[in-house]
A = this chain, B = another copy of it.
């Protein structure tokens, strides 16, 4: 899964990642200040690796799902805890979060269905009795 695949570079500057994901460097520093990522340093300069980049992807997905950085932080901890100790506690936390997500999934499906209904009505009105 996480084979050290060749070529794909393993060193990114803060600007690299900002460009790649269309966010500001300020945002990335802010995520670090909140402990969501912890890039290495070369002197004072941040050096990001694949792991940090992967975390960033998870962070942005979390944001698209409407989660707060606080939530996302907890969420990332679940990934880390794979290698962690309190495994039962982990399973509980994961289950909690899964419940939330499935509630959200239900909300989402309802909303999508409603909008499709609206679209249908709108189209019917334009070209009735197709």
Kindly state the separation between the CA atoms of A78 and B105 in the bound complex, as whole angstroms: 21
Are the CB atoms of B65 and A108 closer together than 8 Å?
Answer: yes
Kindly state the separation between the CA atoms of A52 and B76 in the bound complex, as whole angstroms: 39
Kindly state the separation between the CA atoms of A20 and B58 in the bound complex, as whole angstroms: 35
Are the CB atoms of A105 and B102 closer together than 8 Å?
Answer: no
Give the residues in chain B near A67, CB-CB below 8 Å. Answer: 66
Secondary structure of the A side of the interface? helix
Are the CB atoms of A91 and B122 closer together than 8 Å?
Answer: yes
Asked whether A88 is an interface residue with its Cβ less than 8 Å from the other chain, the reply is: yes
Stretch at the interface among A8-16, A41-49, A92-100: A92-100
Are the CB atoms of A122 and B90 closer together than 8 Å?
Answer: yes
Stretch at the interface among A21-29, A30-38, A109-117: A109-117
Kindly state the separation between the CA atoms of A112 and B108 in the bound complex, as whole angstroms: 14
Kindly state the separation between the CA atoms of A121 and B105 in the bound complex, as whole angstroms: 23
Write the nearest CB–CB distance from A36 to chain B, whole angstroms. 16
Least CB separation from A124: chain B residue: B87
Are the CB atoms of B94 and A118 closer together than 8 Å?
Answer: yes
In-complex Cβ contact of A78 among B61, B101, B118 (8 A)? B118
